[in-house]
Amino acid sequence: MGLLVPRSHGGSEAPRAVARATFETLAGACGSTFFAWVQHHAPVRLLASSPNRALADRVLPGLAAGELQGAVAFAHLRRPGPPAVTATPMPGGGWELHGTAPWLTAWGLADVVAVAGLSPGGEVVFGLLEARDGRGVRASPPMALAAMEATATVSLELDHVALDDADVISVVPLRRWRALDRAATSQPNPAVFGLAATCTRHLAEVDGGAAGDLEAQWRRLRERAYGLADAGAGPEVLVGLRAEALVVTQRCATALVAATGGRAMDRGHPAQRLAREATFYVIQAQSPAVRAATLARLLAPGEPQGA
């Protein structure tokens, strides 16, 4: 739980390679466990860079020790149209959050949640709330999802929720947030490589030749994607590789289903679960650029970019 927390606040501040390997391992083992766990690191990152040092000092040690689990609700900022959650300044200080965050994972597991709202002046306000019903906060029943239903994902209704200045993580212009989000969502997603590894490991039990070919594909792609990311490549380069990783992982999961045959449709067989998890990652952290790149890659003939 303290993987990405700074050492100054009790975490391990793991190097990028260690963090990637951990993400890959957990995602390859169980997508639901991974996705509920990875949400915890979003408020960790936000608090680690927050100008509100008092809030960071108060919360980060608990997040690092696993005494607190975090969650986050900000994907609605990527949607076009009117803001799903507004943040209105209050006369005496602080903000009032109002609206519905349509996607929040780990409700009932998390202790605190970082929620984003958009101000009238076009600023993104991130605030930290207790992850429980009350004081204007109300969660929907857990969603019935095609994949990773065990993540306890809900929509969160915020009815004029008061956010004290002491609980404000950051206030940044929307333009600035979008630039940061574009950079983040273009990065290669270690989870898909962990899932691809699990698929090819199972595939090797029934078709070693196909498993070897597909493993070579995702390994070459992973090496290229991580290498370019570590070299500081920009979103315009990385987004295509992120999309290619999604397509290659889909290919690995579909190959496992095909090689397994009818048994793959049994709810107790890992093939159907892995195929559904591979589909989930196609929409996870999906930005317009990632969506366009994924569709372009699906429609393009020829060998994968990582081959």
pLDDT digits (tens, 9 = 90+) for 50-81: 999 999 999 999 999 999 999 999 999 998 89
How many Å is the maximal CA-CA distance in the chain?
68
State pLDDT tens for residues 84-124.
Answer: 999 999 999 999 999 999 999 999 999 999 999 999 999 99
What percentage of the chain has pLDDT greater than the value 90? 96
Same CATH fold assignment for domains 7-179 and 186-299:
no
- CA torsion through residues 170, 40, 12, 34, sign: negative
Token pair for residue 182?
A: 């574009």
CA dihedral 58, 60, 64, 65 (to 10 degrees): 10
Would you say residue 190 has pLDDT above 80?
yes
Q: Which residues contact 284 (CB under 8 A, 6 or more apart)?
A: 35, 189, 191
pLDDT for res 53: 97
- Spatial distance between the Cα atoms of 21 and 25, rounded to a whole number of angstroms: 6
**CATH fold of 186-299, please?**
Butyryl-CoA Dehydrogenase, subunit A; domain 3 (1.20.140)
State pLDDT tens for residues 220-245.
Answer: 999 999 999 999 999 999 999 999 99
pLDDT for res 304: 52
Would you say residue 125 has pLDDT above 80?
yes
- Spatial distance between the Cα atoms of 306 and 211, rounded to a whole number of angstroms: 16
Domain boundaries, the chain: 7-179, 186-299
For the entire predicted model, the pTM comes to 0.93
**CATH fold of 7-179, please?**
Butyryl-CoA Dehydrogenase, subunit A; domain 2 (2.40.110)
